[in-house]
């Protein structure tokens, strides 16, 4: 038990060291990524669900919005100056935060769309079942609807 | 004014012209004329439907010539408007001189020997010889059934003998002791010896011009005949000419073996004269036996006393007195042998249960007097007369009970084993009696007393209230008669009852008990009973080829409506209604039976109906489930929607990222 916990801690330590090293080398990118992915961080903080659908939803779109600026940084000049220039551009904020907003929009609209779809499909099934019931009544008489057995049906007819 | 009734295009009968002087006790006579042939005036006897006429003997009597009997012309069953029904009608040539005596109590001028011999005896004996060769006995020879054949009243003829069972209207004094002991309707066919005896009685009437003992009751008459001999009893001391005495003693002999035959009468007519034989009286016992307070001196009167007092005779029969009397006082080995044979020894008699007493009395009577009819619980019948007795009084519960007891007693075989002479004609009847108890003890339609009625009376008409008025005697006529009944406006009930079922089985070899057993079901009102009736009549119609019966078929369709309505499948019901209508229009009951009798279709329908109910319920449950799902849609949608949103974002993000990379790479 103790050996396992120690192993995990070691692994975590190694990962943090690697990420720290990479972040130290790519600090301008980390700067843009850190500022650009703030909506995702906010979504992660507000998303109380275990599955973190909102974080995923916003995160995916947010990352897509951040990615062009990261690539510009990498392809043009991977420096603090350039990183600050990119950050200083309002268009950058519009794209990065707009993409995150689109993620939020998808997250909020999808349940409504899915609900509508489920409702339609269920209504269709109910209609089909009702049609079948009508066919049965048409073929076998109203007795099948009331669930009377043959004898009871006959009795009713005879007394009627 | 009623229309004239035509019989077989040969005879016209005028219902408005009765001829009461020719009436029989229960049969009215009407004037009739021949359409083509040269017949004189005719008279038609319109039979009482309750009384079975002698259908078997008609062909034998037809074509008989001679003046000794009313000449039979024709017969047929025709619509008799005054009675609003069909009735059998028998037509004879009308005797020109009227009736010899209106009643047996009439007193008239005595006839001389020559007139009697020429005008009555000679032609009558010739007639009896003719009848005898045809295997028929007249059995209605009595003074009030004699007619003058000619207007000059020289020749006398015997009247009708076919409109009623043999000997029915003959008073006890006209019958031999054995026949007189039987109930009038149950005297059986009899034979020429019985006719010769009756001829002797008529001769006494003609010789004396009266009947000296007509006021005596049957019981007293029988007693006198037994104790005094028939001659002594019938002449009652009146003076008879010596030569006639010889003839009368010969004809009225109580021992059938000593009674004159036709040949002996012919010899007497031819001039042979012998010394008159003394009547042979029954031998007296050494001492008399007391039965119900009366003493009896001879075996035959003792048997008669036992039979008449059957309710109280049991005790006497079980006592030592009877045994001692039979074995010691009678001095008749044959009787002792018979008693040993049918009753066993005294210990066996005493050991028999009390409920067997009536049977023991019957057996004792048979042992003491084997020639007598079988007498059981007050019913006295020759075995070939039971059918007629039952037919005549079928509506009476007591008669049905008596006949039932008679059959269940199984006396016939025993009675036949006691007879001195073997009668081959009774063997067939014995075979019938052997089966009757089994038939009688089954209670369903097609069995019981109705079946016995038709088994014992092969030509009797069907007594069903539905078609009784149509006088159906043959199975071929049954379906057409029911078709007529079905066409009536006031038809009700069903075209099947106990009589129709019994009549069908008894008359048709093609309808066996498998067809009537389904009628015995507990539910006599349901469609199952109607279907059984339809199956039976369809069989009859098919086997007799009696033609279509659309009204009867329509009747069955009405009765089976609930069966069609019982089909749950509405399409199948409609299809069935259409096929039933088509089948009913053809008038072939077998077509209907094929439709209604398709039990597999019923089963299929029932199974399908059960499946439909199940499926309907299943659908209902599913709808309910889905309705709940719709109500919980928001929850499901949010759960699923978030997943969908995550997936959609992932997909869009991936595509977007890929596109961006590609753009920057270009």
| pLDDT the model gives residue A25 | 79
- Tell me how close the Cα of A2 comes to any Cα of chain B, in angstroms: 38
Contact criterion met (CB < 8 Å) for A106 and B652: yes
**Which of B610, B619, B645 is the closest to A107 by Cβ?**
B645
**Digit-coded pLDDT (tens) for B188-219:** 999 999 999 999 999 999 999 988 888 889 99
| pLDDT the model gives residue B522 | 64
Mutate which of B645, B655, B660, B664 to test chain A, going by most A C-beta atoms within 10 A? B645
Contact criterion met (CB < 8 Å) for B641 and A111: yes
**In contact, B513 and B456? CB cutoff 8 Å:** no
| pLDDT the model gives residue B406 | 95
Contact B660/A at CB under 8 A: yes
**Best CA proximity match to B166, nearest among B142, B147, B149, B148:** B142
**Which of A56, A133, A158 is the closest to B616 by Cβ?**
A133
Contact B636/A at CB under 8 A: yes
Chain B, window 133-162: residues with a beta carbon less than 8 angstroms from a chain A beta carbon: none
**In contact, B645 and A151? CB cutoff 8 Å:** no
**In contact, B279 and B254? CB cutoff 8 Å:** yes
**In contact, B329 and B285? CB cutoff 8 Å:** yes
**In contact, A61 and B653? CB cutoff 8 Å:** yes
Q: How far apart are CA B226 and CA B300, in angstroms?
A: 7
| pLDDT the model gives residue A157 | 47
Q: How far apart are CA B385 and CA B182, in angstroms?
A: 9
Contact criterion met (CB < 8 Å) for A149 and B570: no
Q: Please report residues of A whose CB lies closer than 8 A to that of B648.
A: 57, 106, 110
Q: How far apart are CA B471 and CA B644, in angstroms?
A: 92
Chain B, window 170-199: residues with a beta carbon less than 8 angstroms from a chain A beta carbon: none
> What sign does the dihedral B515-B520-B522-B527 (CA atoms) show?
positive
**Which of B612, B629, B630 is the closest to A144 by Cβ?**
B612
| pLDDT the model gives residue A147 | 66
Residue of B nearest to A56 (CA): B646
Contact B603/A at CB under 8 A: no
- Tell me how close the Cα of B414 comes to any Cα of chain A, in angstroms: 55
Contact criterion met (CB < 8 Å) for A143 and B562: no
| pLDDT the model gives residue B320 | 85
Q: Please report residues of B whose CB lies closer than 8 A to that of A71.
A: 660-661, 664
Residue of B nearest to A131 (CA): B619
Mutate which of A40, A57, A123 to test chain B, going by most B C-beta atoms within 10 A? A57
Mutate which of A36, A104, A111 to test chain B, going by most B C-beta atoms within 10 A? A111
Q: How far apart are CA A21 and CA B182, in angstroms?
A: 141
Overall fold of domain B5-93: Phosphorylase Kinase; domain 1 (3.30.200)
pTM: predicted TM-score of the whole model, two decimal places: 0.80
Q: Please report residues of B whose CB lies closer than 8 A to that of A74.
A: none
**In contact, B414 and B363? CB cutoff 8 Å:** yes
The 3-state secondary structure of B335-360 reads HHHHHHHHHCCHHHHHHCCHHHHHHH
Q: What percent of chain B has pLDDT over 90?
A: 66
Q: How far apart are CA A109 and CA B638, in angstroms?
A: 10
Mean pLDDT by 10 residues, chain B (666 residues): 85 93 92 83 94 93 85 93 93 92 89 92 94 94 93 92 95 94 94 95 93 87 92 88 89 91 93 74 87 90 93 87 88 89 83 88 94 94 95 94 95 90 81 93 93 95 94 95 90 90 94 89 77 94 92 92 84 89 93 89 89 93 91 85 92 94 87
Contact criterion met (CB < 8 Å) for B664 and A145: no
Q: How far apart are CA B452 and CA B506, in angstroms?
A: 9
Q: How far apart are CA B30 and CA B22, in angstroms?
A: 8
Contact criterion met (CB < 8 Å) for A157 and B562: yes
Q: Please report residues of A whose CB lies closer than 8 A to that of B613.
A: 140, 143-144, 147-149
Contact criterion met (CB < 8 Å) for A150 and B636: no
**Best CA proximity match to B191, nearest among B132, B248, B147:** B132
Measuring CA to CA, how many Å separate B662 from each of A62, B214, B654? 19, 146, 12
- Tell me how close the Cα of B627 comes to any Cα of chain A, in angstroms: 8
**Best CA proximity match to B85, nearest among B528, B561, B471:** B471
**Which of A67, A125, A153 is the closest to B660 by Cβ?**
A67
Contact criterion met (CB < 8 Å) for A68 and B664: yes
**Which of A71, A112, A157 is the closest to B664 by Cβ?**
A71
Contact criterion met (CB < 8 Å) for A129 and B645: no
Rounded to a whole number, what is the largest CA-CA distance in chain A?
99
| pLDDT the model gives residue A2 | 61
Q: Please report residues of B whose CB lies closer than 8 A to that of A68.
A: 660, 664
Overall fold of domain B114-269: Transferase(Phosphotransferase); domain 1 (1.10.510)
Segments in chain A below pLDDT 50: 150-160
Q: Measure the CA dihedral B13/B19/B22/B23, to 10°.
A: 90
Q: Please report residues of A whose CB lies closer than 8 A to that of B608.
A: 140
| pLDDT the model gives residue B55 | 93
Contact criterion met (CB < 8 Å) for A122 and B652: no
Contact criterion met (CB < 8 Å) for A143 and B613: yes
> What residue ranges do the domains of chain A occupy?
8-128
């Amino acid at each position: 038990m103790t050996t396992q916990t120690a192993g995990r801690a070691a692994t975590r330590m190694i990962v943090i060291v690697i990420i720290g090293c990479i972040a130290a080398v790519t600090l301008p990118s980390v700067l843009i990524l850190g500022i650009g992915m703030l909506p995702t961080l906010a979504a992660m903080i507000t998303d109380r669900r275990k599955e973190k659908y909102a974080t995923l939803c916003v995160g995916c779109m947010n990352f897509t919005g951040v990615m062009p600026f990261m690539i510009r940084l990498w392809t043009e000049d991977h420096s603090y100056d350039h990183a600050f220039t990119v950050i200083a551009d309002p268009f950058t904020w519009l794209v990065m935060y707009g993409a995150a907003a689109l993620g939020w929009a998808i997250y909020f609209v999808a349940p409504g769309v899915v609900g509508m779809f489920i409702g339609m499909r269920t209504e269709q099934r109910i209609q089909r079942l009702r049609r079948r019931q009508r066919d049965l009544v048409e073929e076998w008489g109203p007795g099948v609807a009331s669930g009377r057995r043959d004898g009871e049906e006959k009795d009713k007819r005879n007394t009627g | 004014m009623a229309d004239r009734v035509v019989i077989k295009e040969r005879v016209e009968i005028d219902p408005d012209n009765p001829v009461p002087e020719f009436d029989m006790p229960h049969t009215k006579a009407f004037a009739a004329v021949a359409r083509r042939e040269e017949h004189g005036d005719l008279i038609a006897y319109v039979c009482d439907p309750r009384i079975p006429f002698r259908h078997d003997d008609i062909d034998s009597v037809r074509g008989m010539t001679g003046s000794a009997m009313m000449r039979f012309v024709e017969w047929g069953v025709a619509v008799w408007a005054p009675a609003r029904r069909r009735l059998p009608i028998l037509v004879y040539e009308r005797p020109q001189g009227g009736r010899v005596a209106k009643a047996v109590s009439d007193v008239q001028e005595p006839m001389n020997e020559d007139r009697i011999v020429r005008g009555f005896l000679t032609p009558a004996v010739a007639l009896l010889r003719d009848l005898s060769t045809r295997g028929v006995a007249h059995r209605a020879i009595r003074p009030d059934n004699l007619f003058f054949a000619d207007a000059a009243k020289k020749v006398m003829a015997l009247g009708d003998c076919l409109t009623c069972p043999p000997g029915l209207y003959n008073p006890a004094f006209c019958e031999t002791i054995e026949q007189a002991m039987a109930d009038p309707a149950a005297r059986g066919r009899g034979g020429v010896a019985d006719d010769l005896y009756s001829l002797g009685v008529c001769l006494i009437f003609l010789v004396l011009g009266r009947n000296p003992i007509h006021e005596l009751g049957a019981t007293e008459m029988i007693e006198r005949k037994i104790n005094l001999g028939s001659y002594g009893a019938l002449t009652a001391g009146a003076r008879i000419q010596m030569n006639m005495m010889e003839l009368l003693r010969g004809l009225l002999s109580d021992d059938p073996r000593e009674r004159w035959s036709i040949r002996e009468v012919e010899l007497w007519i031819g001039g042979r004269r012998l010394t008159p034989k003394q009547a042979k009286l029954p031998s007296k016992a050494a001492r008399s036996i007391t039965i119900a307070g009366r003493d009896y001196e001879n075996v035959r009167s003792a048997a008669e006393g036992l039979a008449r007092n059957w309710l109280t005779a049991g005790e006497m029969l079980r006592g030592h007195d009877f045994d001692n009397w039979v074995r010691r006082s009678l001095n008749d080995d044959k009787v002792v042998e018979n008693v040993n044979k049918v009753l066993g020894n005294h210990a066996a008699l005493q050991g028999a249960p009390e409920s067997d007493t009536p049977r023991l009395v019957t057996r004792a009577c048979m042992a003491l007097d084997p020639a007598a009819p079988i007498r059981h619980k007050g019913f006295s019948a020759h075995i070939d007369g039971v059918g007629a007795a039952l037919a005549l009084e079928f509506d009476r519960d007591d008669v049905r009970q008596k006949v039932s007891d008679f059959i269940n007693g199984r006396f016939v075989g025993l009675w036949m084993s006691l007879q001195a002479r073997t009668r081959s004609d009774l063997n067939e009847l014995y075979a019938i009696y052997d089966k009757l108890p089994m038939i009688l003890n089954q209670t369903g339609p097609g069995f019981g007393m109705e079946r016995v009625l038709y088994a014992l009376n092969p030509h009797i008409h069907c007594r069903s209230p539905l078609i009784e008025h149509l006088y159906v005697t043959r199975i071929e006529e049954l379906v057409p008669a029911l078709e007529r009944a079905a066409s009536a406006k006031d038809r009700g009930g069903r075209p099947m009852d106990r009589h129709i079922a019994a009549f069908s089985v008894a008359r048709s070899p093609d309808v066996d008990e498998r067809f009537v057993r389904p009628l015995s079901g507990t539910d006599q009102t349901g469609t199952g009973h109607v279907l059984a009736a339809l199956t039976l009549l369809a069989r009859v119609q098919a086997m007799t080829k009696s033609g279509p019966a659309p009204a009867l078929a329509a009747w069955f369709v009405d009765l089976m409506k609930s069966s069609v309505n019982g089909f749950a499948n509405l399409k199948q019901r409609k299809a069935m209604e259409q096929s039933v209508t088509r089948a009913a229009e053809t008038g072939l009951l077998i077509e209907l039976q094929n439709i209604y009798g398709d039990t597999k279709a019923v089963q299929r329908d029932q199974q399908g109906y059960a499946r439909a109910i199940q499926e309907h319920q299943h659908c209902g449950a599913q709808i309910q489930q889905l309705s709940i799902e719709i109500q919980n849609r928001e929850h499901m949608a949010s759960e699923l929607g978030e997943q969908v949103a995550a997936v959609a974002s992932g997909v869009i993000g991936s595509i977007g990222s890929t596109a961006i990379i590609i753009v920057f790479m270009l």
